[in-house]
Amino acid sequence: MNDIDPFWIGAFFLAVGLFSVFGAALNWSLFVNHRKARGLATLIGQTGMRIFYVLLGVALVVLGVLFMTGVVKN
């Protein structure tokens, strides 16, 4: 059952992380105006939400690179 190559898991995390970083940093309306993102913006403000999503994206990018290079095994 565990036959997914760690490279592809890492590539997925990398893509999602980059989407999060660019969506928040460039203030994409489809990203920051989502109903769940608006709830977070109500709690911590628009700038805080964007910082949170950039940090989350960076963490996912790092995790993706670690999977792709074989440092983290699935």
Domains of the chain: total:
1
User: What are the b/e assignments for 14-39, b being 16+ CB within 10 Å?
Assistant: bebbeebbebbeeeeeebbeeeebee
Residue 11 domain boundaries: 6-69
The verdict on residue 10 lying in a domain is yes
Stronger pLDDT, 9 or 1, i.e. the higher one: 9
pLDDT digits (tens, 9 = 90+) for 25-71: 998 888 888 888 888 888 999 899 999 999 999 999 999 999 999 89
CA angle 8, 12, 18 (to 5 degrees): 140
The verdict on residue 25 lying in a domain is yes
Neighbours of 61 (CB within 10 A): 19
CA distance 28 to 60: 19
Across residues 9-22, what is the average pLDDT? 96
